[in-house]
Structure 1
Amino acid sequence: MDYSKISESIVKWINKKVTEAKCSGTVLGLSGGIDSSVVAVLCKKAFPDNTFGVIMPCESESMDSEYAKRLAEEFEIPYTTVDLTDTYQTLLGAVSQNGTGESADILTKVNIKPRLRMTTLYYYAGLYNSLVIGTGNKTEIELGYYTKYGDGGVDIEPIGDLYKVEVKELARYLKIPEAIIERPPTAGLWEGQTDEDEMGFSYEQVDKYLKTGRGKAEVIDIIEHIRRKSDHKRKMPPVLKL
């Protein structure tokens, strides 16, 4: 693939979509991971003076913020840090007052985090008359590996047609620090959480199947089960026709 042309196409598309929306620039979350780093650099190219990053730790590992700051400073992207830990704990405490706290599973609880992050991003988007830019890649979107109305609740998805392995190559073209490229992908939902451990297989295995239809039978079965289960995430809410 020609990543020079891909980069140029994405930058033009971001500019076009923001302009069509009568907005002035872009706002996105900086997680310290490869996807948000790639999208941040592309947004900076599209809107050199109107790209804003938000680092949003929420019971997060300190290295997430450190990598995010490194990316922002290296590419001269203005940013702020909003620590959502206390907000998360306050909300969790509020909804647990009726006795549901003990019965809620871990995902029910931690999915609050990306929804708080998206609420924060839309605040800054409103403040700066900007679009909220998503950082989801094609692999994650196909699997529904994101939180509905959390990291999936965005205005546009610039790398949504690139598989994870392709995002890696684009990151190298954009000269993203190698330490960020090689970090184990994580949604930062709990300490030590990684995407591949949670899914039970590697991004390479998923991408191979999604691109070629080939793979180990047991992996294919799991992938197809996940796709069916997450199908609702890729559609608008159904409307009853009267």
Structure 2
Amino acid sequence: MEKTVDQIVQWLHESVREAGVNGVLVGVSGGLDSAVVAHLIQRAFPDDSLGVILPLNSNPEDMDHAKKVTESSGINEMTVDLTETHQMMYASISDELKQNNSFEQENDQLAGANLRARLRMSTLYTIAAHYNYLVVGTDNAAEWHIGYFTKYGDGGVDILPLVEFTKQEVREIGKYLGVRDDILTKKPSAGLWEGQTDEAEIGTTYDKIDAYLEGKEIPDKDREIIDSMHRRTAHKREPVKQFHRTDK
């Protein structure tokens, strides 16, 4: 584990040097993945890393955990409350859709949740521009494979240090780095709406996705869910599709 962490830290140094920037920042949600990234980037750049807490109608326990992550990692911290910004923006968009008879109630929850993720991304990049930092993502191998992230939201980042590690491997890295036990063991949740959990929304468990990625046998119904999500979210993992002229 020491070797793995050292390799990630070295990779972070190389990424910053290649980009010609001063350091790195991450949005700290209070969950496992962002906790691990916060510890990693603080280890790599003790004076030039930043953990940004972005409350937005957030579960108070998650915000408490986020604060404890910044304390346990020793990372520099900033908090930007986006609750009012999201409320005003989404209300304005919804009102316009209703006036144009385009509002679909069944899409309301997901659209509002995706806007949260994209507001957070925009905030992180605004802060990063001021510090000349890279924005570090938190997606692990399971989330990346099934596309469990918002395009141009939490998927809108510069670098992904955990993308080749399963959820369990991320947990083991976190334990090595000193991430708190209550964060290591909490139910994964993107905090997109009240009571939301990753596994309930996905329809299978991280353990099964990890096993699938490791080439192990899993029940057919879980394999079908994983394969289906991987196909449907291919566009999230690829560069923007471009038109290529044929008349030149």
Same fold (TM over 0.5): yes
1:199-225, CA deviations, whole angstroms, 9 ceiling, x for partnerless residues? 111100111112115210111111111
Match of 1:5 in 2: 3
Q: SS at 1:79's partner residue?
A: strand
Alignment of 1:206-217 (within 5 A): 206-217=209-220
Alignment of 1:14-93 (within 5 A): 14-93=12-91
Consecutive unaligned residues in structure 1, runs of 5 or more? none
Shift of residue 108 of structure 1?
1.6
Match of 1:120 in 2: 123
Letter in 2 for 1:56: L
Q: Residues 58 and 83 of structure 1 are in contact (CA less than 8 Å); yes or no, is this contact kept in structure 2?
A: yes
1:110-168, CA deviations, whole angstroms, 9 ceiling, x for partnerless residues? 10001000000001101111000001101100000000000000000011110111101
Q: Residues 204 and 225 of structure 2 are in contact (CA less than 8 Å); yes or no, is this contact kept in structure 1?
A: no
- Which of structure 1's runs of 4+ aligned residues deviate more than 2 A? 100-105
Residue 196 (structure 1) aligned with residue 194 (structure 2): no
Q: Count residues with an aligned counterpart.
A: 240
Q: Residues 144 and 226 of structure 1 are in contact (CA less than 8 Å); yes or no, is this contact kept in structure 2?
A: yes
Identical counterparts, % of pairs: 43
Q: SS at 1:212's partner residue?
A: coil
Shift of residue 228 of structure 1?
0.5
Letter in 1 for 2:211: K
Match of 2:94 in 1: 96
Q: Residues 35 and 167 of structure 1 are in contact (CA less than 8 Å); yes or no, is this contact kept in structure 2?
A: yes
Match of 1:233 in 2: 236
Shift of residue 5 of structure 1?
0.8
Consecutive unaligned residues in structure 2, runs of 5 or more? none
Q: SS at 1:105's partner residue?
A: helix
Question: TM-score by structure 2 length?
Answer: 0.94
Q: 1:153 aligns with which of 156, 180, 204?
A: 156
Q: CA RMSD in A?
A: 1.0
Q: 2:143 aligns with which of 132, 140, 143?
A: 140
Shift of residue 105 of structure 1?
3.2
Residue 186 (structure 1) aligned with residue 186 (structure 2): no
Q: SS at 1:80's partner residue?
A: strand
Question: TM-score by structure 1 length?
Answer: 0.97
